[in-house]
Each structure stands twice: as structure tokens, then as C-alpha cells.
A = this chain, B = another copy of it.
Amino acid sequence: MEDFRFVNKTDIRFGKNHIDTELHDAVAQFGQNVLLAYGGGSIKRSGLYERVMKALSGLNVVELSGIEPNPKIDSVREGQRLVKEHNVDVVLAVGGGSVIDASKVIASAKFYEGDPWDLVLDADKRYAIDQLPLVDILTLSATGTEMNWASVISNPETNQKIGTFGPNTPAVSFLDPQLTYSVSKWQTAAGSIDIFSHLTEQYFDQANDTDIQDGQIEGLYRAVIKWAPIALATPDNYEARANLMWASTMALNGLVGSGKQNAWTVHPIEHELSAFYDITHGVGLGILTPRWMKFVLSDKTVAKFARFGRNVWSIQDDDDQVVAEKAIQATYDWVKSLEVPTNLPGVEITNDEHFQEMAESAVTFGLDNGYVPMTPADVVALYNASMTSDDFEK
């Protein structure tokens, strides 16, 4: 086990309808001037916007709407303008990972005089400045942003999609599984795969003897595998939505990764897909993950994959290699069962024209330190392997 420091001060309010009674005080403890950040019209259609505005009555609310999936730096720039102009005390983000991610950087940008893209490119700049407190109401179970330090921001001008960290996790996160009843099958699947991938990035890791972490990850894996199809089939199943929502948070609040090396691989490779083609992040991860598993499976890694097969997929066989291969197939089958595309042509990526450029960018995000180090050629091969499902559809 590696040495680590862990501290996470987010105040989680999990369950039904807590916003109606607790949101006002959770926000007002930080001041009267609120930036309300959200995405499109869905929170208006669902009635959530109205509930939030009612809870905030008496406070000065300025709105930033239209934050898109794969949030763009332009939304952050607009947010920066608003928090400065209105002397905002606290940001309230209502939405999924994109809205919360953008809000975190906006919360820092209040205290920065330059272009907030600087803050995305250089985390040191964010750690050197203050950050507004952030309250959020999560409407999509996926990224774990509701209890961590991370954001992913895209810059369409440069085809960059960059992960960035700030000094603070959200101050208060409202997690009401009911608010995810209206999430589409597509986004439910993508979010669940994103959670699965976060677990995978941390589980397959060069740190040794991390049974505490690995055991917890295995439990989270099993819960996601079990409940994601149920949420697809019955969108208003509270227990399914609750397990997925808390899995989202627990998979990436720093706990199960503490003591591990945390050298991620599949996320950087997927971020290039999203940056170049603006595909749904979780769907991209679902395509890449089984191929990545095949790539890294070897004599050196087979024991870990066998553990994965036995403890996550309950595969009973004495032969590690057999268990490992069945586990990888099970991963592919699970992604497919969530009714999302399982190869790149399925998301309309039909030729390899950008693969070399994407691979060269991906490796700059630490792929030489990954569970199994990857070169640009390896990444190109992984993209190419993702062009067909033949290997998994025998």
C-alpha cells in the first residue's frame, strides 16, 4: 500500500426531497449572492428549477444556463464574468457532471484576473488562489464530481479536453436518486459505464497489497453491474437509482484510490475521442474498456484479472487465464446489455484519420506510468481494435 493523505469535507445529503427543506440554509450559510448554474431546459421541464428557486427565495440569484455536456471553456468564461460582476458568494450547480465541473472552475475563476483556460492548463494557478464554495444538486449518476476535486473542461478551438483539479470538493452535495428517474436510457448507461471505468482505473494498478481498496472496489463493481440494467428497465426504481448514485460518489471521492498509484489509462484515451468527435464520454469508455483489458492481459496481470473475474463476476474456474478471459467477455457483454454501441462505427467514427494525433496526445497524460504502460502505437492499435466487435461476437 502506498502512503496517502485523505481529507474530503463534502457534506452529503442523500435521499428524498432534502432540497425542499435544507437547500436554502445550505446555500445561505455562505452568503446572499448566488450563481445558479445549469444546463439546458430539462430542469425546467422536470419542475426542479421551480423547486430550487422557491428554496432560494430571499437570496440574490444570477443564472448561468446552457452548460453543455463535455462543458466548454466558454461557459466557464461567462460564469467568471457573472461571479465577478455580481460579487457572487456561492455557486449552486444543478445538473450532472458537466454543470458541476464547469461550476468548480468558475468558483476558482472569481479570484483570477486572466482567462480561466489558464486555470485548466495549470492546476498550480488554481491552488494558489481562493475558490468560492460550491453547493450542488446532482441529476446524473456518473462522474463522482459531487464529492471530488476534479473537472474536465473542453476547448473546441484547440480540440483539447483537459482534466483539472482545484483545492476544494463541493461544500454540500444533494444526492436525491429521484432526480435521476428522468435520465434517458442512453445517459443512464453511459453514466453507469463511467462509474465502472473509474473503478477499473483504480483497481488495475501497480500498487500491491491494497486489499482494503480492491475489496471495496469489487463491492462497488457488483452493485453497478447489478443495478444499471434495472435502472434501464425501470427508470423510477428508487433502489436502482440510489445504488447507482452512491456508487458514482463512492467510486471517485478519493477513498478507494487512497493508497493506490492512480495512474489512469482508459480515461485519457477516451478523452481524445470525446475531444475530437464530441461523443458521450461513458459510451466511449464502454467501447475502449474491454479492448484495453485484452491488451493488458498477460502472465504478469492474469492473477489480478482472475481476482476480478472471481470477486466481481463470480466466475468459478480454477484456471486463472480462463477466468480472466471470461471476465473480459463479461465486461463486454454487460456494456452491450446496456444498449449502447460497442464499437467506434457505432458512434460514427468510421475511419482512422485522427488516431495517430489522438494517440500522441493521450500518452502525454501519463500513459507511460499506467498499469501497463502504453506507447502511441499501442493506443493507435487500441483505437483500431475498437473499430470492430468481431473478437467479442464469436
Contacts and interface: CB of A to CB of B under 8 A. Distances in A.
Contacts of A11: 5-7
B222 A215 contact: yes
A348 interface: no
A8 B239 CA distance: 24
Interface string A1-32: 11111111111111110100000000000000
Given A247-B212, A316-B316, A14 B6 contact: yes
Interface string A200-234: 00000000110110111111111100110000000
Contacts of A246: 1, 212, 259
Given A209-B242, A246-B259, 18 more contacts: A1-B246, A3-B18, A5-B14, A6-B12, A8-B8, A12-B258, A14-B258, A14-B259, A209-B239, A209-B243, A212-B220, A214-B219, A215-B216, A217-B219, A218-B218, A219-B219, A242-B259, A250-B255
A16 B3 contact: yes
Interface residues of A, number: 43
How many copies are assembled?
2
Interface in A254-307: 255, 258-259
A5 to B, nearest CB: 6
11 contacts: A5-B11, A6-B12, A14-B258, A209-B242, A211-B223, A211-B227, A212-B219, A215-B222, A216-B219, A216-B220, A316-B316
B10 A4 contact: no
A391 B41 CA distance: 65
A9 B220 CA distance: 23
B218 A215 contact: yes
A9 to B, nearest CB: 5
B1 A242 contact: yes
A142 to B, nearest CB: 15
Contacts of A3: 14-16, 18
Nearest to A258: B14
Contacts of A255: 250, 255
Nearest to A217: B219
Given A211-B226, A226-B211, A10 B7 contact: yes
B1 A5 contact: no
Contact of A212 (B223, B259, B316): B223
A18 B208 CA distance: 21
Contacts of A16: 3
A10 B239 CA distance: 30
B239 A208 contact: yes
A220 B215 contact: yes
A18 B223 CA distance: 36
A3 B20 CA distance: 14
A1 to B, nearest CB: 4
Chain B CB within 10 Å, residue with most, of A16, A208, A242: A242
Contacts of A209: 239, 242-243
A4 B14 contact: yes
A201 B242 CA distance: 22
Chain B CB within 10 Å, residue with most, of A13, A223, A239, A247: A223
